[in-house]
Structures are given as structure tokens and as C-alpha cells.
């Protein structure tokens, strides 16, 4: 096996598994700390959305932990059971983060709009690039390998655009938590820790993808 390829795989696994372990550890820690106001994640999310004039956006109860998201197509916030019902620092932080995405959509936040626009292209590219690459290798066709690189680059572009979107949603979440007063100052640190750990998962994924892209570029050049 190519030692460079092996190194890329190992580093990617370290980044991926490490970031997932970190967010689970941090979430578990702060999901045990109750907030003073005793509001649930769903209640805080409702109040944040109302504060931004988004009372029409529904908040749905989801299932597994860390599956919270805002869907711009249905314009709904979905919170995992632990966040929806939870009255913890972790629940408050994640609920406000997802509401931050809803605010981005409502205010036409540019990076968020770009990410939404390129989703169809990225979905196709992420599913076919590896097959195009293998076909290019088997047929020894540099043009096909180049097409695969371009398709994979589109996937990475999506990940890079995602970074400011996630950072901004966390910034909006912290701003609301700070001004609303639902979490006292001593609980802010916990909320920030949860959001930083969540953001690192996106950074790690982007770094791993960039490493693999560099390897493919080197392979294509050879």
C-alpha cells in the first residue's frame, strides 16, 4: 500500500473519530448540568425564534442525540429528544444554535444561501466522484481522473462554505443566550464549550477532505 495514502487515511480517521469523541464527551458533560431557569431546549428555541419574529417556524421533536438541525426546505427546527426535553446547558446551547440557522435563512445570510444553492450539485458529486476516479484509474485516462478531482473539489467547497455558516449560527446562539438572561454568566462557558466542540467536527471533516484531495492531486500528477 502507498505509504502516503496510508498516512492520509490514518490522519483522516484520527480527525474524524477524535472530533466525534470530543463532541460526545462535551455534550455528555454539559447535558448533566441543569440551567437555572429550568426552561427546556424546545422552550428556549421557541422564545428565540419569537424574539426574531419567526413565530411561524415549527419546532419538532426528533430522536437520537446530536441529530438536531434546521431544514430550509420545510422551514422547521428539529431537536433531538435530549435537547427538546432537556433543561441542561447542552440542550440550551444546541437549541439556540439550530435557531441561529433559522435566523440565517430568514435574513438571507449569504454563505447560508450559497450552501443551500449548491446542495443538489454536491449530492450528485459526492455520490459519483469515487466511481469516476476508479474508472479513470482502470482505463488509465487522466481526463476522467481530472473530472473526479473537480467533483470532489465541489464536495470540499460545500464543507468550506459550511464553516462560516456553523460559526455564525453559534455566534447568534451565544448572543441570544447572553442577552436573554436565561443562562447566568457561569453557565455561558458550558454553552460555548458545547458549540466549540460541535464546530470542530466540521473543521475536522474539512481538513480530512483537503488531505485526501491533496493526495488525489498528487496521484493524478504522477
Q: Please list the helix, strand and coil fractions of the chain in percent, rounded to the nearest 5, in that order.
A: 75, 5, 20
- Which run of H or E residues covers position 62? none
Distance (Å, whole) CA 178 – CA 167: 16
Q: CA 125, 163, 56, 117 torsion: positive or negative?
A: negative
- Catalytic positions: 98
Taking the C-alpha atoms of residue 110 and residue 101, their distance in angstroms, rounded to an integer, is: 12
What is the number of residues in the chain?
A: 222
Amino acid at each position: 500500500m502507498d505509504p502516503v495514502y496510508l498516512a492520509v487515511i490514518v490522519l483522516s480517521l484520527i480527525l474524524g473519530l477524535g472530533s466525534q469523541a470530543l463532541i460526545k464527551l462535551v455534550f455528555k458533560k454539559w447535558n448533566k448540568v441543569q440551567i437555572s431557569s429550568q426552561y427546556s431546549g424546545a422552550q428556549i428555541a421557541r422564545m428565540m425564534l419569537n424574539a426574531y419574529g419567526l413565530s411561524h417556524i415549527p419546532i419538532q421533536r426528533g430522536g437520537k442525540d446530536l441529530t438536531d438541525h434546521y431544514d430550509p426546505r420545510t422551514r422547521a427546527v428539529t431537536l433531538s429528544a435530549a435537547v427538546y426535553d432537556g433543561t441542561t446547558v447542552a440542550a440550551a446551547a444546541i437549541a439556540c444554535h439550530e435557531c441561529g440557522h433559522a435566523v440565517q435563512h430568514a435574513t438571507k445570510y449569504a454563505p447560508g444561501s450559497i450552501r443551500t444553492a449548491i446542495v443538489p450539485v454536491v449530492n450528485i458529486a459526492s455520490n459519483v466522484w469515487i466511481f469516476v476516479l476508479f474508472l479513470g484509474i482502470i482505463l488509465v485516462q487522466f481526463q476522467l481522473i481530472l473530472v473526479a478531482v473537480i467533483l470532489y473539489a465541489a464536495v470540499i467547497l460545500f464543507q468550506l462554505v459550511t464553516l462560516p455558516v456553523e460559526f455564525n449560527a453559534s455566534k447568534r446562539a451565544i448572543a441570544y443566550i447572553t442577552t436573554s438572561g436565561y443562562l447566568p454568566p457561569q453557565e455561558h462557558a458550558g454553552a460555548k464549550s458545547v458549540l466549540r466542540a460541535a464546530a470542530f467536527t466540521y473543521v475536522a471533516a474539512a481538513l480530512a477532505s483537503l488531505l485526501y484531495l491533496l493526495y488525489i492531486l498528487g496521484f493524478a500528477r504522477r
